[in-house]
Amino acid sequence: MASFIFLGIGATIFLTLLLPEIRLYFFNIAGRWLYIFLFSFTLSLLMTPLMRWLAQRFNIFDIPEDRKIHERATPLLGGGAIIIAFTASLLANMVLERDIILTLYAGGAVAVTSLIDDWKGLRARFKLLVQILAVLFLIYNGVVLSLFSDKIWWGYILNILLTMIWIIGITNAMNFIDGMDGLAAGLGAIISLFLAIVAIQTNQHVLGWIAIAMLGSCMGFLPFNFHPKTPASIFLGDTGSIFLGFVLASLAIIGDWADNNPIVSFAAPVLIFWVLIFDMTYITVERVLTGKVKTVKQWIDYVGKDHLHHRTYTMLGDKRKAVLFIYLLSITLGVSAIALRYARPVDGILLVIQAFLITVIVSILDYSGRKR
């Protein structure tokens, strides 16, 4: 009964937001950012039960197995609710900048591929190929990092390589960390929040609205995916986690995160995405050093229970505590990104070093817990 009341309230708010008078009120008085958040939040809230029903109707479930933590077959397609809510909120609010439209095209391609994988299964190599093509599409259309001068050939090549590493790395890191109830969607919400704050700090209001649209979409999904007492009733699936990682990584490239300060501009998104960067780096180094993977093919195909959330669960002995711990770690580093607004270049370097030391401390605690 409570869930029906909750959904009824959400439907009422969403329908109210469609009224022209209410829309004008938010745009002129209450704030466009709040309208976008409420629109994406309520639409995601309403779409998630529909996605759950579709997953059950077409038998799209995540089946428990040795490498997974959940104990019962759970519907996938939760990512569909986030994709629909996010895209609809941008279209309804005319947030249609060229780069974000290109990102939606490319993100849609990898999301469709991941949907097929959720439903029928695909080789990891094929999914990676689609991601590479999607990133090349963005690069061809000018969505590329500008850390080095384009006037010299090696600077141009490095910018392209770093763009591919960044987007593909963050995309798959978000997918890999989607292994506990609420973790990927919650991290997506946290990352979106800090991207929005820093975007507004740097007077990039359109980029802030886009990040807020993703924040609302993730928050609307979370009540079905992260509950204090019961297991998740629906998962993001690769469709959701891949799209979430791809779009957020692309937003970090589209944005300019500091005023004429390239070091701070680089440090801000690194701190915001640090948990994902750390997890991907840690498992890669550990798997290579321990001989678990010896070739690129093995690295692509390898699946294990050695990610940050697995290790934190082993250390704390409780799934929800592990998720909340990672939330707090991400928030702590995100606050550092906000502090960079008026920082000197050396402050940006020091805060990145601090983030590294924090994760080293976490790794030491994790290793000690596993040994014990």
| % pLDDT > 90, the chain | 48
What pLDDT shows up at residue 226?
92
Predicted confidence band of residue 258 (pLDDT cuts 50, 70, 90): low
For residue 196, what are the contacts with CB-CB under 8 A and spacing of at least 6? Answer: 33, 208, 209, 211, 212, 215
Residue 264 near residue 258, CB atoms below 8 Å:
yes
**Range name among 117-121, 222-226, 343-347, 368-372 with the lowest pLDDT average:** 368-372
pLDDT band at 90 (very low <50, low <70, confident <90, very high): very high
- When pLDDT is cut at 50, 70 and 90, the band that residue 209 belongs to is very high
Q: Which among 93-97, 290-294, 326-330, 362-366 has the top mean pLDDT?
A: 326-330
Q: What is the torsional sign of CA 289, 293, 294, 299?
A: negative
Whether the per-residue pLDDT at 305 is higher than 90: the answer is no
The predicted pLDDT at position 191 comes to 97
Whether the predicted pLDDT of 340 surpasses 90:
no
For 40-55, what is each residue's pLDDT tens digit? 999 999 999 999 999 9
Strands 74-75 and 61-62: antiparallel
Q: What is the dihedral of CA 72, 286, 369, 350, to 10 degrees?
A: -110
Among 66-70, 156-160, 289-293, the least confident range: 66-70
Contact 178, 184 (CB under 8 A): yes
pLDDT at 241 over 90: yes
pLDDT of residue 78: 92
Q: What is the pLDDT of residue 10?
A: 86
* Region 85-93 average pLDDT: 92
pLDDT above 80 for 70: no
The answer to whether residues 152 and 329 touch, using CB atoms and an 8 Å cutoff, is no
Residue 342 has pLDDT above 80, yes or no: no
Structure tokens at 295: 């070739």
- pTM of this prediction? 0.93
The whole-number average pLDDT for the span 101-118 is: 93
- Which pLDDT score is estimated for 32? 87
Range with lowest mean pLDDT among 4-8, 178-182, 331-335: 4-8
Above 70 in pLDDT, residue 2? Answer: no
Q: Is the pLDDT of residue 221 over 90?
A: yes
Compute the mean pLDDT over every residue in the chain, rounded to the nearest whole number. Answer: 88
Reading the block at residue 222, the tokens are: 């979370």
- DSSP code at position 62: E
Q: Which pLDDT band holds residue 356 (cuts at 50, 70, 90)?
A: confident
Greater pLDDT, 305 or 223? 223
Each residue of 265-281: pLDDT tens digit? 788 899 999 999 999 98
Burial of residue 300, with CB atoms counted within 10 A of its CB: 0-12 exposed, 13-18 middle, 19 or more buried: middle
Using a pLDDT cut of 70, give the percent of the chain over it: 96
* Tokens standing for residue 328: 């707090």
Q: Is a pLDDT exceeding 70 seen at residue 94? A: yes
Q: What is the 8-class DSSP label of residue 75?
A: E
d(Cα 333, Cα 335) in Å, to the nearest integer?
Answer: 5
pLDDT at 5 exceeding the cut of 80:
no
Q: What is the largest CA-CA distance in the chain?
A: 64
DSSP reduced 3-state for 102: helix
**Closest residue by Cα to residue 218 from 194, 201, 198, 202:** 194
Across the range 342-351, mean pLDDT stands at: 82
Q: Give residue 173's pLDDT.
A: 93
Confidence at residue 152, expressed as pLDDT on a 0 to 100 scale: 82
pLDDT of residue 213 exceeding 90, the answer is yes
pLDDT value for 327:
96
